[in-house]
Structure 1
């Protein structure tokens, strides 16, 4: 066999099973977008009937009232389906392959909003959509051929949990000192960071189960995942109460994949076998996709940043 072809084959960590995760992640992104639309509608209706807290975030009573809103319940069920598809995609593919595909949810959200509100997408929005979709699919296309699933070690679990604990402490301090001036973007960014860790914890838990190693540290990861999911969901509801769905989805689809991909590369070593050219492509396409998401969030007719 040609030595050059042998070297190329060693560089490409192709596993056909990884491609199963891509359509599953795309389906999850669709449910994420639609779920956000329905949840936002329910939150707005609840807050509009409690004007004394309008724009100040949700209190306990309002959270209970959401359970009586059909739109919010439907949205929650859709988000539940989005989580199921995401977890299933993580079973088949590395984190850095499927997690960036969540950015497609912003594109769907923008298009749905324009149809529902009978507002035509402007040229800048269309350009941003092309940047977002193109950047994400190029990133995922290269990652699908170069990323690898590696055994998850106890050291990696400990690093992820320690970093998450530091993030929670910093977030708590920020919330304590700036609570009165908090805006939607704070809730969106923090929720995005938490969901990035949720995806990462889900991936490492799945990995440990596949390895047949479920010990106390893995159980601690499960507890951390549930806590981060609940807290992230609370921040998302408050973001809906103080900002448009486009802002929420834009923030989540930028911060969530960014956090997860960084952890996947730096801590889990999913790009350890990627050749240098692939790392360059990751950086360039990642910047293009993130730039497109922010441009779309700012230029869409229904977005109010």
Structure 2
């Protein structure tokens, strides 16, 4: 029965092979994401040294202006811009649950880049943490790709997503205001990952409605919310660079981001309504492994310990 269910879903996917065009596009975006994160991190660290003020409690207005003058940060931002464009392009071809988690490839690339550019040797626990992130996401997306199905996004779904996003933004903003002097990199990383999970979902929705020629008031609200969440997530990411290495930042984004997007798809959109019960247990187990890897990386990474 299990083999029959998976085989039947695989046959449905293979009937439309064009949806796999998004996979190589998403992988190329992961490469740009890796290099962009590395250069942005260097820019933030340089601004901190020049200003003599740590940005872990929140980048000041002067530091934000200084970032625009740093060539490394500008180059990193442009590379991340290319990564976003490629991600949006991949979403126009393939389902969100297939291409979004492929960003975890950026974690491996960023870890190698950061180790080489910083002259660090990744310790054993760090390598295990990275392996857990990659393995957890790989299992998570594989099961999702063969058991979940795309569902039409109704106006009620959109309103629900927007309301939840509003609550999330308010909670993280309040936590940042009252706790920013006691926060660590993991706070910014988790916050950015959750926010970007909503960004990916809204981006998929907006692209779908535009492809169908539907641009109404609700679509405009989704676009505004998308831009606002992108800005908030980006600010959190810049703060994370000041207190954590770039591969830790990428780990949070490429693990938490796709899982939030898939959870939205499962809980709000009902994309896993026809999935067997065993798939739910695999989702939970794989997600727990990947998230544990992120927290291990935050604890044992050589730059964090230093």
Work out whether the TM-score is over 0.5: yes
| Cα offsets for 1:284-303 (capped at 9, x unmatched) | 33333333333344333334
* Residue equivalent to 2:86: 85
Q: Deviations over 1:30-80 (max 9, x none)?
A: 221211110010111111111145654321122111111111011001111
TM, length-normalised to structure 2: 0.88
Q: When the two structures are superposed, what TM-score results if normalisation uses the length of structure 1? A: 0.88
Give the gaps of 5 or more residues in structure 2.
none
- Contact 1:97–1:144 under 8 Å retained in 2: yes
Give, in angstroms, the shift of residue 90 of structure 1: 1.5
What displacement does 1:111 show? 1.7
- Quick one: structure 1 residues 53 and 301, their matched pair in 2 at CA, closer, same or farther if it must change by over 3 Å? closer
Q: In the TM superposition, what are the counterparts of 1:134-173 in structure 2 within 5 Å?
A: 134-173=135-174
Distance 1:130 1:266, change over 3 A: same
The structure-2 alpha-carbon separation of the partners of 1:137 and 1:182, relative to structure 1 and needing over 3 Å to count, comes to closer
Stretch deviating more after TM superposition (23-32 or 270-279): 270-279
Map 1:1-305; keep pairs closer than 5 Å.
10-12=8-10, 13-14=12-13, 15-52=16-53, 55-304=56-305
Contact 2:256 2:291 in 1 (8 A): no
Q: Give the match's secondary structure for 2:230.
A: helix
How far 1:4 moved relative to its partner?
10
Q: 1:123 to 1:98 in 2, by over 3 A?
A: same
The 2-side partners of 1:48 and 1:148 are apart by: 49
What value does the CA root-mean-square deviation take over the aligned residues? 2.6
